[in-house]
Every structure is written in structure tokens, then in C-alpha cells.
Amino acid sequence: MNCPRCGAEIFPGAKYCHKCGSPIDQHPEDVLLVTTPSIPGYRVTRVFGVVTSLVPRTRGFLGKIVAGFQSMVGGEISVFTSELERARMEAMSRLKDKARRMGANAVVGLDLEISDLGLQAGVVIVSATGTAVIVEPESRSP
Ligand SMILES: [Zn+2]
């Protein structure tokens, strides 16, 4: 990966850029993902633009939903919710990957959508959209 500030290549495991000294987050989970347009306590210092990730689920997925309906107990459709949840997690994790590759450390304005291409097609698409940005804690002055 590269330094989000000066673009210098970062050594694996380094906590600070060896060139400009800015702190580096090298952990995937450190890409913040929020549905709000801003993050309290942080200010956006750079905007990269919109990032989108799509996670299609095909027939197998729908089959599982049907199976879930058939084995429905007490109104709980657990197979449906867990499969969708998995697809959502995957969409969000792909979004983080994309944002990180752009050099962002956060995605704001996250929007998750589930759409189907018609039951005949047997495809359900979970899409995650957001704006890739660089945020810095407000307390840190330039
Ligand atoms: Zn740097």
C-alpha cells in the first residue's frame, strides 16, 4: 500500500510513513464505514468519489430461501436473514477493499440496496454504495 498523504510506499507493518511521518492504518477493519455523511470527531480532508460493490446471489441462494420458508418455525426465516446478512457483509467488505485501494481510510454515506433481476433470472444483487474519503481526527491540527 501507499501513504495516503505523500504516496510513498509503506513498509508492511509500519505504523508511520517513513517519508512524511503520517500515521498509517494497515488493518482492513480500520476503514470506517458509516451511513452518515460525516463522522463525529473526524473531518474529511479528501474525497475520492463514489465506490460501489455488487454481490450477486444466484439460484442456490433463492433455493435456500425457499428451504428457509419451508422449514419456517414460529415465523422466523433464519436462513433468509443469515444469507442476506452474509451477502451484506461481503458487499461492505468489498467496498472497504475498494476504498482502501483508492487510498481512503473511510467510507461515508453508505447505502445498502437489495434488488432482484426477476425471480425467473434467479439473481438477487446486494449492492453497497458510498463515498470514499480520507478523514482525520478533529483534534489533530495541521
Ligand atoms: Zn507519507
State pLDDT tens for residues 99-125.
999 999 999 999 999 887 765 666 788
Residue 23 confidence (pLDDT): 80
Query: Separation of 19 CA from ligand 1 center, angstroms?
Result: 5
Query: Separation of 2 CA from ligand 1 center, angstroms?
Result: 8
User: Which residues are found with C-beta within 5 Å of the ion, ligand 1?
Assistant: 3, 5-6, 8, 17, 19-20
Q: State mean pLDDT over 21-40.
A: 79
Query: Separation of 128 CA from ligand 1 center, angstroms?
Result: 30
Distance CA 3, CA 137 (A): 17
Q: Domains in the chain, start-ordered, CATH in brackets?
A: 1-26 (no CATH), 31-58+89-137 (3.30.110.70)
Q: Is the pLDDT of residue 139 over 80?
A: no
Encode pLDDT of 48-101 as tens digits: 999 999 998 875 665 656 655 555 555 555 656 677 788 899 999 999 999 999
Task: Yes or no: say if 84 and 10 are a contact pair by the CB < 8 Å rule.
Answer: no
